[in-house]
Structure 1
Amino acid sequence: MRVLLSTYGSRGDVEPLVALAVELRALDVDVLVCAPPDFAERLAGLGVPLVPVGPSASELTASAPPPSSIPERAAQLIADQFAVVPAAAEGCDAVVVTGMMPTAAGALSVAEMLGVRAVSVTFQQLTLPSPHHRPLAYPGRPLPDGVTDSRTLWDLDAENVNALFGEALDSNRVANGLPPVANVRDYVIGDRPWLATDPVLDPWREPSYFEVVQTGAWVLPHERQLPDDLVAFLDAGEPPVYVGFGSMPMHGSADVARVAVEAVRAQGRRVVVLRGWAGLAPEDVRDDCFVVGEVNQQELFGRVAAVVHHGGAGTTTTATRSGAPQVVVPQLADQPYWAGRVADLGVGVAHDCPTPTVESLSAALSAVLTAGTRERAAAVAGTIRTDGAAVAARLLVDAVERDRVTA
């Protein structure tokens, strides 16, 4: 059996596919991944073949193009999918697709063109139409504040997706012998999408507009050891506070780093700062401050007093599983949702704006650096599932085997 895992996005879009790849290989499935070139080293370290597609995701993120350029950029990303994915998907029994809406639409179209089973996956539920939450607004296309009817909002969302991506998708589809798509969003979602999130941290509520398969989050246990100098820092005093914003560009990153370090020091704590895609680099580095690059967050979060982060799905899941209290400083997209879930579960607080000050971040830390929050975080950590990727791998293999029986 051969399976292609396809995505385009940040580390949060790629890491879950790494976990699924490992579980599929344990079931004797031949796996390869289509993803941005940024993750070649990560996949090579696990022996998973990478077919690079599109430009560097980190460079695209750092360039911060204006919202008006979204259709143009989407057109190129979709064209990249049609140029690269067909050869990668040839001979595959299934294609698992996630990532940005336009690239997912392109990859799913290629699977359709080749007649290969495709599964659409999301790592957060806010892109799935539901009467229980509003759609995410696209840059430059805000949803009207006065509209509360769920169906109306989701119809507007479909119109926005079509306006941004429909022309580029259909031109590529027609050029490859496929019919146009009437509704790009619904085409990407399909009839039975998979939601790869934890049901405690991210519960899918019924009734809904269609059937959703919630597998649990796809998390690969990291065996990589922490660097010796970081271990020495951790061992040298009380648990520090971790600050990192993952793949977020965080414009004005020098000031963000300064604010974060000063806020942690105001609580009498040491600090570990992740450089991330923003390149956070505190200028005032003393014995109480340690700056890291790529690091095993699963191991590190278990040794810190609190985690300050941006609210990406992967980081939120990892922090919640670790039992560390959290301060979430959401920037965009689904991040305010994850910040709200952290607050609702009582395992941390949601910062109320994307640009913290020393005073606001220090106050948030003061609220979570308590015995009560740590006890609650530890209790919730014990409820988070760890088998999501294995569940998904088994579901996929079973579906392919059923296809073979009925063929």
Structure 2
Amino acid sequence: MKVLLTSHGSTGDIYPVIRLGRALVEAGHDVRFATVSLFRPEIEAAGIQFVYLPPDWDQSGFAEAMRDLTKAKNPLDLIRIIYSESLPFLDEILDTLERELRRADVFVTSYVFANLCTLARQAKVPCAVTTFAHNVVPSDSYPPEGLPRLLAAPAFLRRRWNRMLWRVTDRVLCWQINRVVGETMGRHGMGQAESFALEPADLALVTVSSKFCKPKRLWSDCFQFTGYLRWQSPEDPDLEATLEAFCQGQAVPILTFGSVTFDEARKVMTRFMRNWPAGKKIIIQSGWAGLTIERPNAEMLRVERVSHDQLFKYASMVIHHGGAGTTASVLHAGIPNIIIPHIGDQWFFASEVKRLGVGLEVKRKRWPEDLPKAVRTVEKSKKMQQRARVLATELAKENGPQTAVAALERLARGSPLACT
């Protein structure tokens, strides 16, 4: 089976697709991954063939784009910004994908760019999308995230209300996409986007735990929960000695915002250092925001890019932004979360860790001042710590990559999974 993968975005958008690609390679399939050159080393190290797509930015370019995304007022505005960022490069992206699809048996793209499946349909290639956030999975059990619930209404009325809201949301999202990139799509014979949420592809791989995240009622059988797809940065043997010397056998809080960037990061970290308890250790991962420790402090250790699995072995809890990949890593590590959401679905993941009983949320606006209290709350909560360990034990039994590969193999054989 010849598989063409594509995804755009930050590490959290790319790494799960690398894991999927590696699993496909291990299953004996020919895999090509079309994306930006920033991630080429990791893709080729996984044994996957790299296909270049623009833009040819370095990490600072993507960090600047991420800062723009944090200013989105709502999900509709977020989609507008994402598609507007892609517009200058879209003709070249579409030309490249059209060429690559001529040799593909299956096409897999990100849920955010589900409209690319139109290219696959033109080439008569089965198409799948991946999504790392299960709040985009439609169901008549709940409305789209952020829209009102009729909690006091009879069940049949709630279901009708929820289905209506999903249909309206689908149409509004398509309107926004067509408004930004409709002309470019038309030049490639793609027509207008007709469905974004309800019929994104022939198959939608929802790459989270089916046991803990799957709703009771799904809109369509094409939405398949696989389990997590986790790919890690290489471990650093030299850093291991540094971490052991710093922690001295004691688990400590870890602060990381991953690929999230935001304005005035230096001033924010100055506030953090002013409020962090004297004598209490913490590890700070610099991330794309370039978090800094401005004054030498024996209780604070700053680290650069490193495997989550390597770093989180030393954590008593992880303080993070609520990205899908980071949240998955903390859940698998069996430790509590403190989430400080910045953008998009990060508020949803904050609500999920609270629902699962493995963490809490701190508001972004005052997190440097409010964090110490939240840390004390987590440290005192034996129930939260125990629940995190139990959850990790259950997640270790799942095999997301294997499940996703099997679903794609069924799709290539022509199994009737369409979202129609």
Give the TM bin, normalised by the shorter chain: 0.7 to 0.9
Q: 1:363 aligns with which of 364, 373, 378?
A: 373
* TM-superposed deviation, 1:277: 1.4
Q: TM-score, normalised by structure 2?
A: 0.83
SS of structure 1 residue aligned to 2:23: helix
Q: 1:269 aligns with which of 280, 285, 290?
A: 280
Matched, 1:342 2:329: no
Q: 2:127 aligns with which of 118, 121, 144?
A: 118
The residue that corresponds to 1:153 in the other structure is 165
The residue that corresponds to 2:418 in the other structure is none
Check the 8 A contact 1:241/1:307 in 2, yes or no: yes
SS of structure 1 residue aligned to 2:277: helix
Amino acid corresponding to residue 30 of structure 2 in structure 1: D
SS of structure 2 residue aligned to 1:224: coil
Q: 1:303 to 1:29 in 2, by over 3 A?
A: same
Amino acid corresponding to residue 343 of structure 2 in structure 1: L
The alignment yields a C-alpha RMSD, in angstroms, of 2.8
The residue that corresponds to 2:342 in the other structure is 331
Matched, 1:196 2:207: yes
The residue that corresponds to 2:138 in the other structure is 129
* TM-superposed deviation, 1:354: 1.7
| Greater RCO (CA < 8 Å, at least 6 residues apart) | 2
Matched, 1:61 2:66: yes
The residue that corresponds to 2:19 in the other structure is 19
The residue that corresponds to 1:292 in the other structure is 303
Q: 1:181 to 1:2 in 2, by over 3 A?
A: same
Aligned-partner Cα distance in 1 for 2:52–2:145? 28
The residue that corresponds to 1:245 in the other structure is 257
Question: What is the CA deviation profile of residues 359-386 of structure 1, one whole-angstrom value per residue up to 9, with x for unaligned ones?
Answer: 4111111111134432221121111144
Q: 1:341 to 1:215 in 2, by over 3 A?
A: same
The residue that corresponds to 1:28 in the other structure is 28
* TM-superposed deviation, 1:11: 0.9
Question: What is the CA deviation profile of residues 168-221 of structure 1, one whole-angstrom value per residue up to 9, with x for unaligned ones?
Answer: 55434432334434334445x2354221111244x2212232222111111236
Question: What is the CA deviation profile of residues 234-282 of structure 1, one whole-angstrom value per residue up to 9, with x for unaligned ones?
Answer: 453522211011111122212333344455535x531111111111112
The residue that corresponds to 2:155 in the other structure is none
SS of structure 2 residue aligned to 1:50: strand
Unaligned runs of at least 5 residues, structure 2: 152-157, 416-420
Aligned-partner Cα distance in 2 for 1:74–1:144? 32
Question: What is the CA deviation profile of residues 72-113 of structure 1, one whole-angstrom value per residue up to 9, with x for unaligned ones?
Answer: 4353354343132123333111111115x2x331x3122122
Aligned-partner Cα distance in 1 for 2:276–2:359? 15
Check the 8 A contact 1:136/1:333 in 2, yes or no: no
Alignment size in residue pairs: 391
Matched, 1:215 2:226: yes
Check the 8 A contact 1:7/1:98 in 2, yes or no: yes
The residue that corresponds to 1:308 in the other structure is 319
SS of structure 1 residue aligned to 2:25: helix
Check the 8 A contact 2:269/2:368 in 1, yes or no: no
* TM-superposed deviation, 1:392: 0.7
Q: 1:221 to 1:394 in 2, by over 3 A?
A: farther
Q: TM-score, normalised by structure 1?
A: 0.86
The residue that corresponds to 1:321 in the other structure is 332
